[in-house]
Structure 1
Amino acid sequence: MSDATMDATSRPRAAASDLYRAVWRWHFYAGLLVLPFLITLSLTGAAYLFRDEIDAIVHADIKRVAVQEGETLRPEQLVASALTSVPGRAVKYTDPPAADLSAEVTVASDSGQRMAVYVNPYEGNVLGARPDRSTVMWTVRYLHSLRYFGPVARGIIEIVGGWTILLVGTGIFLWWPRGQQGGVVSVRGQPRRRIFWRDTHAVPGIFVGSFIVFLAITGLPWSQVWGGKVNEWANGSNFGYPSGVRVDVPMSGQKLTDQAQTSWSLEQAQIPETTPPAPEATPIGLDAAVARLEGLGLHPGYAVVLPSSPTGVYSGSVYPDDLSQQRVVHLDQYDGKPLVDMSYADYGPGGRWLEFGINTHMGQQFGLANQILLLAVCAGTILLAVSAALMWWKRRPSRSLGVPPMPQDPRVFRGLLAILIVGGILFPLTGASLLVMLALDMGLRRLRKPSLA
């Protein structure tokens, strides 16, 4: 065989090998960055999928009641009972979502702390009180969203989400069959061998990867830059209210999310104001407001934010598992007329798709099947992280991080860099982190000998 023929044959092989090395190198970097977060997100996410079930068990003393025959007490009676136990001003009443659950009254207590008071809806006795949003599942939710770590954490969510998509994309490339026997849908070898952990990482990864990307994308709405911009786009110019639904009423400047739990697409929604009343006007009261909201068809488990000023409104909202039952209604506190009445059907196409993705992300949309599927995805993600760590441990050189080798021809990075640039434009914070990683990688290569790169 001539030298020219050998060169023609070896060149494509070398190019393919270089591309594989480049992708492997960035797969390694992506895993190094996001796997610790993915383990934490998987553990907390798996628990949060069963939030209602877990809270009902852990907080059974304040959440659960014995079902009794006859009517439940009126909301104003339950609020009065709560204020007897925790003096202050009632700011929200939450209807029991089921016959065996307690009512919840949120109180701005005289001590200055916001408290959740749980009341038996049949007898009116207070079952207990604790700081608002301090149950086990609220704690898990804040850990999952990194809220405990301040506003910077929302930026971390975006960085992790973008790198997770890169991790899955490069992982698919590395898994792609190239004529090998095994390691595509089957696991080879024994646990003591590195190939076993390679296949344990690659084979489940190809099945779990698409779900991981889905969770990453549907988790991005809570991120700092990307999520904030998409939220503005989804909300339009009406501060979160779908076009054509918000009526021409004065707006208070207060956001719905500051007063009650709300859907992501309405986090920027402002609460309207009641028109300044006549001197002789009197509020309709909570009982009448609840009757009006129930007459409008709000799903059980709704929350009602009480007016805090003469121009305030009764804000009823509910976000059950069934997306079609999502509803927000603001009532004039003097005549009970709806100032705003919106539901999932009123959202634009973008808002509906975003809410559908978020609802599925939270394990709500398809009931128990949704929960079990995402629980399996969380378990699979942890398996990927553990197998990646073991695989790296078995192949790492002594006294080295074990970064995959550089391609012999650096030009192979051009196509990969183009993809990274596009990803950086779509996810700005991820793009910034990519630039930092590129700079670090270039710096490390300059410090080391080419043969060791």
Structure 2
Amino acid sequence: MNSKSPATQGNTSLYRAVWRWHFYAGLLILPFMILMSITGAAYLYRDEIDDWYHADLKFVEVSDTNAQALPISRQIQSALAAVPGKAIKVLPPASPDRSSEIVLAADAGGREAVYVDPYDGDVLGHMPDRTTIMWVVRRIHSLAEFGTIPNYIIEIASGWAILLVLTGMYLWWPRGNQKGGVVSLRETPKRRIWWRDAHAVTGIFIGVFIIFMAATGMFWSVFWGKYANEFANGTPNGYPSGVRVDVPLSTIPMIDAFGETSWTNENIPLPQSVDGGTDETARPAPVGIDQAIATFDKMGLTPGYAVSLPRGETGVYSASIYPDDLSLQRVIHLDQYSARPLIDMGYDDYGPFGKIMEFGINFHLGQEFGTANQIFLLVICALLIFMSVSAGVMWWKRRPSGALGVPPMPRDTRKIAVVSAILAIGGIIYPTVGASMIVIWLLDYLLVARPQRKLRTA
């Protein structure tokens, strides 16, 4: 039987090496963990919050006298009268009490979302496209609101969150005759040991979910997400497995056409209309948005879909819907001259990797299991905030006055190399994390480890 106490075991070189990396990981990402938890918790209720905050734009009164909606073409005319420009996308009402959203490329510059009463054509108001309160929260969540470089920082933080959990699990693992701090708390909140136990016990219960949320969140990341998406589709321009493409493709990806689409479909290019022929003088007139909408409805597209209007003479009418129910995800492209479906693609057509990732993303967004999914993730976000705060309290109580409080160097410094090599696997999987790991290692060596070694030998 091992007679060493947890304290003695905690002084081993390997333990110290892992603790050192765990400390640096926490120092780097805890502020971002709090930010992502707060904004992520809010974004779980994006529809409810947006509907409340923008109720004057999103909802209309329904009565017996206005039960018949105007054609979408008439609603577009109303939107253009209020904001001169060109219609590029429309979102027909998902239910009778909702307004239509018409997205315009405004003559004055930028994209403007105009909200129209579908029954009388009155314009309820307008604002720059994708500036609803929860869209801004989403961009703050990823730091995309502050530019590309901060967006990279969130990618690094997400990767480090995974390594933070893995090193934390090693530090939590019971040693010797340890009685408390495994699934129970010792002492009171006045003592540092209570905060250590609360941090460790909370982490061991939600650690798997932290890894899951960090890993699925990486699919939106600037660097890693792009290449993962290309891998999922085979090539940057490849359709998901099972979708046969026998029409010409444009160079416009779906993310550019819709502004927001499913992760699997982001880089898929729009097809081109072919039923107009090649002779421009004999080309028939386009069918128009009203017939396109009628075709989408006839094909059973779930209400709440968005329609991207044709771009140029070879453009197509493209409709997409990404509801909570993954099985109802669907994208349909119509030839603008005949309203003939060129591609009709749903969740069942995705490849295995795409299906797994779409499920993970749907759960990450709190959609897959409805209210239960939202509440569960809300609790995870709250516990993440508590873990971050408890880590800060632990550090504050432990650190020497006026010092950073970096964990002591292992007696056997080779253990740092061993732990670093193991963590480097994560750095290879997530290259931006690997780059930050090198920077941290150099800073630790130059500013902490090397001066300490000189003091010991002096």
TM-score, normalisation: structure 2: 0.93
Q: Which residue of 2 aligns with 1:209?
A: 207
Same amino acid, percent of matched pairs: 55
Q: Secondary structure at the match of 2:380?
A: helix
Give the one of 47, 51, 56 matched to 2:51.
Answer: 56
Deviates more, 1:388-397 or 1:72-81: 72-81
The amino acid of 2:163's aligned partner reads L
Q: Structure 1 regions of 5+ residues with no counterpart?
A: 1-7
Residue pair 2:32, 2:157 contacting (<8 A) in 1 also: yes
- Go from structure 1 to structure 2 and tell me whether the alpha carbon gap of 1:177 and 1:15 turns closer, same or farther (over 3 Å shift): closer
**Offset of 1:315 from its aligned partner?**
0.7
**Offset of 1:158 from its aligned partner?**
2.7
Residue pair 1:68, 1:122 contacting (<8 A) in 2 also: no
In structure 2, what is the Cα distance between the partners aligned to 1:383 and 1:304?
42
**Offset of 1:258 from its aligned partner?**
1.0
In structure 2, what is the Cα distance between the partners aligned to 1:265 and 1:198?
41
Structure 1 position 125 matched with structure 2 position 128: no
The amino acid of 1:137's aligned partner reads M
Q: Secondary structure at the match of 1:108?
A: strand
TM-score, normalisation: structure 1: 0.94
Give the one of 252, 261, 269 matched to 1:254.
Answer: 252
Q: Which residue of 1 aligns with 2:363?
A: 360
Q: Which residue of 2 aligns with 1:5?
A: none
Give the one of 376, 379, 383 matched to 2:382.
Answer: 379
Give the one of 259, 284, 287 matched to 1:281.
Answer: 284
**Offset of 1:251 from its aligned partner?**
1.9
- Go from structure 1 to structure 2 and tell me whether the alpha carbon gap of 1:62 and 1:407 turns closer, same or farther (over 3 Å shift): same
Structure 1 position 91 matched with structure 2 position 88: yes
Q: Which residue of 2 aligns with 1:337?
A: 340
**Offset of 1:392 from its aligned partner?**
0.6
**Superposition map of 1:97-176 within 5 A:** 97-176=94-173
**Offset of 1:287 from its aligned partner?**
0.8
In structure 2, what is the Cα distance between the partners aligned to 1:370 and 1:123?
38
Count, aligned residues: 444
Q: Which residue of 2 aligns with 1:268?
A: 267
Alpha-carbon displacement from aligned partner over 1:299-356 (angstroms, at most 9, x marks no partner): 1110111113111110111111111111111100010111111111100000000111
In structure 2, what is the Cα distance between the partners aligned to 1:120 and 1:307?
24
The amino acid of 1:18's aligned partner reads S
In structure 2, what is the Cα distance between the partners aligned to 1:355 and 1:117?
30
Q: Secondary structure at the match of 1:200?
A: helix
The amino acid of 2:295's aligned partner reads R
In structure 2, what is the Cα distance between the partners aligned to 1:16 and 1:395?
15
Residue pair 2:32, 2:154 contacting (<8 A) in 1 also: no
In structure 2, what is the Cα distance between the partners aligned to 1:47 and 1:452?
50
Q: Secondary structure at the match of 1:284?
A: coil
In structure 2, what is the Cα distance between the partners aligned to 1:114 and 1:14?
61
Alpha-carbon displacement from aligned partner over 1:101-157 (angstroms, at most 9, x marks no partner): 211000111212210001112232111100101110110011112212322234323
The amino acid of 2:451's aligned partner reads L
Deviates more, 1:193-202 or 1:14-23: 14-23
Q: Which residue of 1 aligns with 2:450?
A: 446
In structure 2, what is the Cα distance between the partners aligned to 1:188 and 1:230?
44
Residue pair 2:306, 2:320 contacting (<8 A) in 1 also: yes
**Offset of 1:449 from its aligned partner?**
4.3
The amino acid of 1:36's aligned partner reads P
Q: Secondary structure at the match of 2:285?
A: coil
Residue pair 1:15, 1:412 contacting (<8 A) in 2 also: no
- Go from structure 1 to structure 2 and tell me whether the alpha carbon gap of 1:110 and 1:14 turns closer, same or farther (over 3 Å shift): closer
Q: Secondary structure at the match of 2:286?
A: coil
Q: Secondary structure at the match of 1:265?
A: coil
Q: Secondary structure at the match of 2:208?
A: helix
Structure 1 position 24 matched with structure 2 position 16: no
Q: Which residue of 2 aligns with 1:394?
A: 397
Give the one of 63, 68, 73 matched to 2:70.
Answer: 73
Structure 1 position 422 matched with structure 2 position 422: no
Alpha-carbon displacement from aligned partner over 1:239-275 (angstroms, at most 9, x marks no partner): 1422341422222211111121210111111111112
Q: Which residue of 1 aligns with 2:319?
A: 316
